[in-house]
Amino acid sequence: MHDKTSSECCCRHKDTPRSEQTLRQLRNRINRIVGQLNGIQKMLDENRYCGDILTQIAAAESALQSVGYIVLQEHMQTCVAEQIRMGNTEIMTEAVDLIKKLK
């Protein structure tokens, strides 16, 4: 298992590449979320009603959480499963910590 320094977090790579279908699905979802965030910014600029803005924020949060669940599922099926097969049971601690972060 790698030491988890803050600089290493952004440098690690998956052993198993994501499929083109998964990448396309994640990119599409992220692009929609970016669009939602841009829409929220526009609503703020236009001095729109607070309740409407909060509704859009909740929708963006939900969409982002859905992306997180897709990545988490893939992580469990690939990264975690591969590490367990290699005898690294400590990966379960990381997996639980990631689940807690995702809420």
Strand stretches in the chain, DSSP E: none
71-80: pLDDT as tens digits: 999 999 999 9
CA distance 66 to 72: 10
The whole-angstrom separation of Cα 87 and Cα 27 is 33
Q: CATH number, domain at 61?
A: 1.20.58.1000
* Contacts within 8 Å (CB) and 24+ apart, 75-78: 78/14, 78/15, 78/16
User: What tens digit of pLDDT does each residue of 46-72 get?
Assistant: 999 999 999 999 999 999 999 999 999
Give residue 60's domain range: 20-102
Query: Could you tell me if residue 3 is inside a domain?
Result: no
Residue 2 lies in a domain: no
Average pLDDT of the chain is 90
Say how many domains are in the chain.
1
Q: Is residue 7 part of a domain?
A: no
pLDDT confidence of 7, banded at 50, 70, 90? very low
Confidence of residue 10 (pLDDT cuts 50, 70, 90): low
